[in-house]
Structure 1
Amino acid sequence: MYISTIKIPVRYAETDQMGVVYHANYLVWMEIGRTALIEELGFKYADLEKDGILAPVLDIQVSYKKPCKYGETVQVKTWIEDYNGLKTVYGYEIWKESGDLAVTATSSHVCVKKDSFRPVSIRKTHPDWHAAYEKAKRRQ
């Protein structure tokens, strides 16, 4: 299984009055991690969109363990938890500088045609992308 790791400094604008990261900002960091993973595998999500394909979120599961705070730098680890040619489940861990696990999460996405939102198989439309995901995904 391939794991992408990216460091993100916690910005003041991402926190509440107590200096704790507002819960929705973890979703933004997950998107940053997902984008980094896709690019490290040799692709760009923007290219998929140019081909008329989108990958909307079907489901997100997040478990908050420890708060991240202003001034820290966090590590976002992202991997392909499951993939079947149509639906992709990404896994995430967000780690604090202290080495404490702050968040675990998954997000599920399905590829659809931009004009109709009908599901589309990446296995058929983008075989190189499919092969890279098959190679990188978590082995059961």
Structure 2
Amino acid sequence: MHVSKKEIEVRYAETDQMGIVYHANYLVWMEVGRTALIKDLGFLYKDMEERGVLSPVVDISISYKKPLRYGETAEVHTWIEEYNGFKTIYGYRIYNPDQELAIEASSTHICVDKQSFKPIQFRKAFPDWHAAYEKAKK
């Protein structure tokens, strides 16, 4: 299983009145993690989009464990939890600077045609990515 790791400095604008990271910002960091994982595997999400394919989120789950604060560095770990050639479930763990778990999450994605929004089979549309995902998954 391949785990991508990406550091993110917590910016002031990402915090709320309590001085902790606003919960929705973790969704953005998860996207950063997915993008890093895809790049680690030798691909670019923009290349998929240029071929007329999108990968929307169809389900998401987040469990908040410990807060992150302005000035800290978050470490986003991302991997392929499940993959079947059509649907991908990405797993995430985000850690604080002390390597304590801040969040544990997953997001489920499918691929769709950009024009019609009809689902497509990832394994047929992108055989190279399919092979890389098969090799990298949990």
TM-score range, shorter chain: over 0.9
State the AA in 2 paired with 1:136: A
- Taking the aligned partners of 2:3 and 2:43, their CA distance within structure 1 comes to 15
Structure 2 unaligned spans of 5+: none
Note the C-alpha offset of 1:17: 1.8
Structure 1 unaligned spans of 5+: none
Task: Give the equivalent residue in structure 2 for 1:16.
Answer: 16
SS at 1:34's partner residue?
A: helix
Task: Give the equivalent residue in structure 2 for 1:130.
Answer: 130
Task: Give the equivalent residue in structure 2 for 1:87.
Answer: 87
Task: Give the equivalent residue in structure 2 for 1:58.
Answer: 58
SS at 1:79's partner residue?
A: strand
State the AA in 2 paired with 1:96: N
Kindly, what percent of the aligned residue pairs are identical?
A: 64
Q: TM-score, normalised by structure 1?
A: 0.97
Task: Give the equivalent residue in structure 2 for 1:118.
Answer: 118
Note the C-alpha offset of 1:104: 0.1
- Taking the aligned partners of 1:89 and 1:46, their CA distance within structure 2 comes to 19
Superposition RMSD in Å: 0.5
SS at 1:111's partner residue?
A: strand
Task: Give the equivalent residue in structure 1 for 2:4.
Answer: 4
